[in-house]
Every structure is written in C-alpha cells, then in structure tokens.
Structure 1
Amino acid sequence: MAMKTMSYDLSFADRQALVSDCAAAAEIAAIVLARFDERLLRADPVLAEGARQRGHAFEAQALIGLTGGVCPLEDLVLHDASTDVRAPTREITRAAAILDERRRLARREPADVLSPSALRLRLGIETLDEPDRTERVPTWSGAVKKTAAPWEQRGLDDDDEGRGDEEDLDLEDEDDHADPAFADIDALLVRTRKKLDAWNDLSSDAGRRNLTLRDPAYDPAGRFARWLAILEEGKGLPAILATALTLDAWLWLEPSERSGELGFALAATVLRQRGVTMAHLPAIGLGLRRGRFRWSPHQVLSARVAGLLGAFGEAAAFGQADLDRLTLARAVMLRRCEGRRGNSKLAELVDLFVSAPLVTVQLAAARLEVSPQAVEAMLKELGGSLPRELTGRKRYRAWGTL
C-alpha cells in the first residue's frame, strides 16, 4: 500500500496531457452541471429544496451500492426520521451517516470544509509537526509504566517473534488434552493473538476500549498530505477537471480507512468552491452508480478521469429528470387545492410533501400548526394524488415522494 501511495505523482507534462485528453468530456460535464444548477436557482424554492434533499438520499443509497451493499431508499428515509419498520442493517446505518454528512457539508461554506485544519479534524489526523508521544498508563496493580507505541511494538525482531511463537506452541503442546489434528489451527491462533497484541494496547482501560484491526503502517497522515498536494495543484486546472482529479486521487490514495465515501462529498464541495454548482451539492456517487464506468486503480489516469467526468454528467442528468418528476407530482397534488377557502392548509401540506422526503402526521401537524385530526382529514382530501405510503402500517404511518 505504501508503494501505491507514493506512486501518485503528476508532472507538468502529465497534467498538460490530461487536459488535452479529457477536454471534450470536461466541457460536456461542465455544461450539464451548470444547466442543472441554473435551473435550481430559478426554480420554486420548495421544488429546489425538495430536489436537494432527495439528491442527498439518492447519493447515500448509491454510495452503499458502489461498495456492494443493499440500501432500500424507503428504509433509509424511515431510519433517518426514526420511524423504522424493521431493525436497521449495517448498510442502512452507514447510509444514514453519509446522509447526515452531506447535509452538514451543504450548510457550510466550501472554504471552511476544505481547509486543511478542518479536514484533519474530520479525519482524525494529527498535524505532521506534532511529536510522537508515548503514554504512561496505569496497570491493574496501580503502578505506572511506559507503554511502547503500536508501531514500536511491531518493530520487534523477527527472531524474537519467532521464538515467542515457538514458546507459545510449546506451552500448547504440553497440554495433555491437545489434539494433534488441531496443531495448525492452534499455531494460527497464536500468531493472530501476538499480532493483535502488537497492534493494540491491552494494558489500560482506554486501550482496551479502542481495539483496532487496522494496519498501523497505513500512514493516514502521509496519504492525506499527498491528497492535499493534489488538491492544491488542481487550482491551476479547469474547475471540472480539477474536481475529477481530486476524486481520483482520493480513491487512489485512500486517506481515510473509516470514511472512504467522504471523498465524493469533498469533490462535490470543490465544485461549489470553484463556482460550477452554487445551488446544490452534486450527487457524484449517484452518477457513477448509474453509468457504465467503474473506477479501478488498474486503469490509466486519463481513462479514470474521463470516467469520473462522465459520472458528473450522469448525476446532473438524473437531477434534471428528478426535478421534472417532482414538479409533475406537485402540479398533480395542487389540482386538489383548487376552489379551497383562503385559510386552507392543503397547499402547504402539498409543499411539505415536495420539500421533505418523508412526512408523518405528527410532523405535518407541527409544521402546519394544526391538529393531527386536521392532517388526517387533509390526507383524505388529496385522495389518489397522495404520495406513496412507506411503512405499510395502519398506525404511525409515513408518506413520501420518492
């Protein structure tokens, strides 16, 4: 993995060749994204907000799908509103975290999101100039001893490690009840236990609470520093091409083991910072999921960047189509509001259905400042134009335009 990290270097000639090879794809993607963003700027605020919120949910679902997981959109929306109809799966929980992350990034200024200090804080990476520390942790007997860091523990001599394995194996062999048929399994368990002990601090309560199976030689700080350098070098490239290169570098370097999907949101934030998309946070993962291109480190750089540019266009095209569907659904529901009294709340309920992915009776009653019985009556007045019911229950129901 270290060789992969260090090999992501782009010379001036490489960048010039990338600009010439991907110029057409970059222009197409920039035009489609700008058109969709301009349409959101000119659209009704209720429709624009609805399209943005739906885009966040679609993006979270798509990113789970790219990793091979299954995330039904209805379950994600219900889990986000704390109205689950079944126990949430690991994929649903991850998608909900991605959904919250995108909403948080969309509310913040791009410069604040992409600042190195904010990114280090988000990824949990210490500053590079911070000296290494060895902690003094209390033992069970109450004494204080110096505990070596995990990377120092992994630096044990190979011969010493081998002798330790042999000593443990000898202890296992001395057991009268040991079965010779399981000798290989016992040897594997001994080696695994020693490796985990070297990676984790088992001498303190804090260390036992933070056990990890991750490779201590992963070097997230070095990977993140290289990605920041790519982000800085992209300022001399066209905005859309710099964004694709930033996302490609994130997928290649993998600066974070825990938040791999964060790179898509950061790339979308780069588009906002460069002024390509001012009214929304593009759903790049959704475009990659819907297209035929699949990113792979075995492809050449120009092919990878061109594929990501195509994903930008796919995301914008899907956003255009989804905004059309949302506009049509609102027009159909508003027909039920014709001829109503001036103090009718039915039109406001329609706008609530459009702006939010999920609506419950309690939420509608709080937003419209009416009683739950009044909301139930308005739902009956909508009739066949009502959005789809998502829970399948007779009580504690929820509706959404998905």
Structure 2
Amino acid sequence: MGLALPASVSFERLQAPFESASDALARFDERLRSSPVAEAFVLRAHFHDACAALWCAGEFVQLEDLVLHDAGTDVRTPTHELVRAHAVLLTRRRIADREPGWALTIEGLAGLRGVSRPQGILLEATAAGSGALEDEDAVEDELETVWRSSSGEFDEIDELLARTSRLAERIAPVQRKRDDSGLVYDEDWDEEGRLAEWRERLGDMTNLPPLMTAGAALDAWEEIEPLQHSPWLGSLLVADLLRRRGKTLHHLSALQAGFRHAKYRRSRQSDLESRMIAFARAVELMAKADSKELDRLTLARELLLRKCKDRRTNSRLPRFVDLCLESPVVTVPFVAKELRMSQQAATTMIDELSSNLRELTGRRRYRAWAVI
C-alpha cells in the first residue's frame, strides 16, 4: 500500500467509509442483476451522468434537452454545453458496450480520445501480423486462380478489389489533426506523457481494494490533468475500473451524479485523506439514490403494464411503456419517431397513460412527459 497512498493517510480512518460505500455499491449491483427494469435504469443513468458531468464542470444542461438532442428532435439550436454533454453520453455508451477494462487499455484510451495507437505499438502489431497477412494473400491467390479457371468474366474487377483490400489493411490510421496555434490547445501540454504517468500510478494501486483504488485513481487524474478538453473522461475510466475489478458487474457507475448530490465539494486545498473519504461518501450516496430510483422504476412499470392488459397482440402500447421507462423524458415527436407512427397516434397513447405520466412543461404546445 505504500506505493499507492502516502504514509500521512490513515488506513484506519479510510476503512469504515470505504467498507460502507463498497457494501452499498455491491448490494445495488446485485439488485440490478435480477431487476426487470435493469436495462431502463442503465439507459437513464447515461443521461443523468452526462448532465452531472457538465454540472460538476460549472455548466448546466437540461436533461430533456439532452434526450431530445440524442433523438435528433431538438426544439432549439443546440448549445456548446449540450454538444459536450452529448459527447459524454456517447462515450459512456461506448464504454458500457465494451468488455470491462477496455477503456483502460492503450487502444481503448486512444479510441476514446479520437487518435490512433502509438506508432511503436502499431509497428509491433504490423510486424506480428505480417505472416498472417502473407498466408491470407496466398489463400486469396489460390481462390482467385480456381475462380478464374471456372469463369473469366470478372477477373479484372476481382483483381482490382483484391489489391485494394490488401492495401487498405496495411494503411496505418491517421492521427487526428488539431489546432497547433496555441489558441485552443496548449503547446506545452504533453497529453501522452501525462497519460503515461497516470497509468503508472494506476499500476501501483493493484494492492488496494477496488473502491479505494478507484478513489485514488480519480484523485490522481484530477491532480495530473492528462487531457485538456476532456477532464470528464477520468470518472468514466474509474467507473470502468470498478467493472474490471469486479465491483460493478452489471452497470457502469454514474460517479458524476454522486458527486453532484454530495454535500462535500472536492478541492485541492483539502488533504488526500479528506478527499478519499469524500469520494467514499459520494459513492455511498450514489448507490442509495440509485436503489431508490430502481424501486421507483419498478413500481412505475407495474402500474403502466396494468394499462396494457386485454390489448391486442400487435399493440404498440407495451413498447411505449418500455420507451417511457428507458427515456427520462418523452415528447410526441420523439415517441412518433421511435415507434414509427403518426404524431396523432403517439398523442393518443400518451393520453391513455396520462394518469401515470407527469407533464413537465405546463404548456399546451411542445409538451414533455416523464414517469411519475
């Protein structure tokens, strides 16, 4: 433990809050495993965490605006903050769809940052796969010979396609271009070096418990600040770290949502021990709030499904119920687009479930509803 935390940090003081937070997080994850609304909760958590990430950065994005922007049914021109929140949303989905720990690999980090892999690793991979490419070329040549002997009508086209595919496989990915004038990116900001330093610190934390490792990794991320324009990526990497360590097997934790509702505000003026305790309490608060949200969605699902009884087998009302649970906010154009129906039919279905839906805007036009 000496490599991960300094000697000034009292492990005895950290033990109680981290054990409590770890138990709360494990209980919620186990509940989510067998919950009928687990998928709906996960989809909603992506939206809530994306909005919370912008809130923690000092910017405000309304949840309904993010939902409509993601569905392509904006009611106004998207703001810069909304576009950033949508980038967080897409990144969360990408990490959640991959295997646990993918975001922490070199290839995963490069993909999330929008750049190619380091050149050294690319050359090693190319050298390792050159033999396999030669074998594949030999098999392709043999197949082409057999096909040419049986039919010579498309020989020129086949040869052109084969040469093009072989060349495309050998082309290295191009580095993303960015502004080097110093107006957008700091020329002295060494992202590769800072990421390497953070990964090195992460490797020194393997002897800590999973949640304590996550807290120390997030604190190191905020101290090093590897990325200039994507500081929110650190919490997503830490959430993926919890999945890789087996603490959250069935969801990607919405850590930013926990920080948003926590009373303590993280500050560099506080000592490391106070910041670690604050992280544990934020995680515990997040797990308890998520458990209450799971109860609310379960009850809402039971009430909504009662309205679906004695319906014809091809009715779209059950799918509309799932849509109401999966999306924090629904509108008439959004429902019509997702269920591929007319806006009049979508309005009729919303009216049928109006007793279990809450109208959010209080207007007669451009209205939005949410599950009670």
TM-score, with normalisation over the residues of structure 1? 0.70
* Whole-Å separation in 1 of the counterparts to 2:177 and 2:43: 40
Alignment of 1:214-253 (within 5 A): 214-253=185-224
Counterpart residue identity of residue 286, structure 1? A
Give the direction of change, closer, same or farther, for the CA distance of 1:380–1:232 in structure 2 (3 Å limit): same
Equivalence for 2:305: 334
Give the direction of change, closer, same or farther, for the CA distance of 1:207–1:358 in structure 2 (3 Å limit): closer
Matched, 1:83 2:73: yes
Counterpart residue identity of residue 301, structure 2? R
Equivalence for 1:212: 182
Alignment of 1:167-316 (within 5 A): 210-213=180-183, 214-316=185-287
* Whole-Å separation in 1 of the counterparts to 2:71 and 2:313: 31
The structural deviation recorded for 1:93 is 1.4
Matched, 1:105 2:75: no
Alignment of 1:62-73 (within 5 A): 62-73=52-63
The structural deviation recorded for 1:370 is 5.8
Q: Secondary structure at the match of 1:110?
A: coil
The structural deviation recorded for 1:324 is 1.9
Question: Could you tell me whether the CA contact under 8 Å between 1:291 and 1:311 is conserved in 2?
Answer: yes
* Whole-Å separation in 2 of the counterparts to 1:32 and 1:94: 31
TM-score, with normalisation over the residues of structure 2? 0.75
Alignment of 1:369-384 (within 5 A): 373-384=344-355
Give the direction of change, closer, same or farther, for the CA distance of 1:265–1:390 in structure 2 (3 Å limit): farther
Equivalence for 2:30: 38
Which sections of structure 2, spanning at least 5 residues, go unmatched? 122-175
Give the direction of change, closer, same or farther, for the CA distance of 1:375–1:231 in structure 2 (3 Å limit): same
Question: Could you tell me whether the CA contact under 8 Å between 2:307 and 2:353 is conserved in 1?
Answer: yes
Equivalence for 1:135: none
Question: Could you tell me whether the CA contact under 8 Å between 2:67 and 2:327 is conserved in 1?
Answer: no
* Whole-Å separation in 1 of the counterparts to 2:94 and 2:84: 15
Equivalence for 1:185: none
What is the aligned residue count?
316
Equivalence for 2:108: 118
Question: Could you tell me whether the CA contact under 8 Å between 1:361 and 1:376 is conserved in 2?
Answer: yes
Equivalence for 1:182: none
Structure 2 residue corresponding to 1:25, chosen from 8, 14, 17: 17
Alignment of 1:128-143 (within 5 A): none
Give the direction of change, closer, same or farther, for the CA distance of 1:230–1:365 in structure 2 (3 Å limit): same
Pairwise CA RMSD: 3.0
Question: Could you tell me whether the CA contact under 8 Å between 2:96 and 2:251 is conserved in 1?
Answer: yes
Question: Could you tell me whether the CA contact under 8 Å between 1:85 and 1:391 is conserved in 2?
Answer: no
Structure 2 residue corresponding to 1:93, chosen from 68, 80, 83: 83
Question: Could you tell me whether the CA contact under 8 Å between 1:33 and 1:316 is conserved in 2?
Answer: yes
* Whole-Å separation in 1 of the counterparts to 2:82 and 2:362: 16
Structure 2 residue corresponding to 1:350, chosen from 290, 304, 321: 321
Which sections of structure 1, spanning at least 5 residues, go unmatched? 1-8, 131-205
Of structures 1 and 2, the one scoring higher in RCO (CA 8 A, sep 6+) is: 2
**How many percent of aligned residue pairs carry the same amino acid?**
38
Q: Which moved more, 1:260-269 or 1:55-64?
A: 55-64
The structural deviation recorded for 1:122 is 3.2
Larger of the two Rg values belongs to structure: 1
Q: Which moved more, 1:82-91 or 1:118-127?
A: 118-127
Question: Could you tell me whether the CA contact under 8 Å between 2:64 and 2:328 is conserved in 1?
Answer: no
Counterpart residue identity of residue 232, structure 1? G
